[in-house]
């Protein structure tokens, strides 16, 4: 009887250990998503990047790192507020109009609204993917459904497989302490800023 009890306990401990989720080098701790952590970005006067203060405010309101938002914008639109992709994505964060509407924004072409909807959307993806930055970025690019269809992994789409490391590389350059060191493990192809834009918008 005691031997059976010990065996059952060992099996339970083994299964519990096997069920522990893998720790991803891309997982951001919720502490890094606290608005107060990036409060200083709003007061900065030395950031001469386009729309720096507006980006800082939108990021603060959603608890995102402004540097992450900058990285997404640099790759998505190269900071072109009038950017329009062939598929109809608009503005700095290249939002589809229906995505913006889901975030309560009716005019995603306007800078403040675009940033508000884009940061809300990205924050929601971060939460739904347990702060796995690589998966949240993949979902931002290819859609949440695509990431789910491939069992919570980066879909094998050439654009997405190029997009994720491009954003991670930009983010890691400014935030090496939180962006993870495993980005080099992703297949990185040439992904130029604004490559999703139509020739007219470039």
Among the listed residues 162, 182, 187, 184, the one whose alpha carbon sits nearest the alpha carbon of residue 75: 162
Q: How far apart are CA 161 and CA 173, in angstroms?
A: 19
90-111: average pLDDT: 95
User: 26-201 has which fold?
Assistant: Lysozyme (1.10.530)
> When comparing pLDDT for 182 and 135, which is higher?
135
Catalytically annotated residue among 76, 98, 127, 144? 76
- Read off the pLDDT band of 159 (50, 70, 90): very high
Q: How far apart are CA 198 and CA 137, in angstroms?
A: 21
3-26: average pLDDT: 50
Q: Is the dihedral of CA 121, 131, 47, 164 positive or negative?
A: negative
Q: State yes or no: is 76 an active-site residue.
A: yes
14-22: average pLDDT: 42
Q: How far apart are CA 74 and CA 22, in angstroms?
A: 30
3 state SS for 110-136 = CHHHHHHHHHHHHHHHHHHCCCEHHHH
- Mean pLDDT, all residues of the chain: 80
Model pLDDT, residue 79: 97
Confidence check: pLDDT of 54 > 80 = yes
Confidence check: pLDDT of 181 > 60 = no
Model pLDDT, residue 52: 95
Instruction: Look up residue 65 and give its two tokens.
Output: 């790192």
106-135: average pLDDT: 95
Q: How far apart are CA 81 and CA 200, in angstroms?
A: 13
- Read off the pLDDT band of 3 (50, 70, 90): low
Confidence check: pLDDT of 69 > 50 = yes
Nearest 10 degrees: Cα torsion 116, 67, 65, 184: 120
């Amino acid at each position: 009887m005691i031997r059976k009890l010990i065996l059952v306990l060992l099996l339970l401990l083994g299964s519990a250990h096997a069920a522990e989720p893998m720790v991803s080098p891309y997982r951001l701790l919720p502490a890094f998503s606290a608005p107060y952590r990036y409060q200083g970005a709003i007061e900065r006067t030395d950031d001469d990047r386009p729309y720096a203060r507006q980006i800082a405010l939108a990021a603060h309101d959603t608890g995102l790192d402004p540097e992450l938002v900058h990285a997404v914008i640099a790759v998505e639109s190269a900071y072109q507020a009038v950017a329009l992709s062939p598929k109809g994505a608009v503005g700095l964060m290249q939002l589809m109009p229906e995505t913006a509407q889901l975030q309560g924004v009716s005019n995603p072409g306007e800078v403040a609204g675009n940033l508000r909807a884009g940061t809300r959307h990205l924050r929601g993806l971060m939460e739904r993917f347990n702060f796995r930055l690589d998966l949240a970025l993949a979902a931002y690019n290819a859609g949440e459904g695509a990431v789910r269809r491939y069992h919570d992994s980066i879909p094998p789409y050439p654009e997405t497989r190029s997009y994720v490391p491009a954003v991670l590389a930009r983010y890691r350059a400014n935030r090496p302490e939180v962006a993870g060191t495993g980005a080099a493990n992703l297949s990185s192809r040439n992904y130029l800023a604004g490559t999703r834009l139509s020739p007219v918008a470039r």
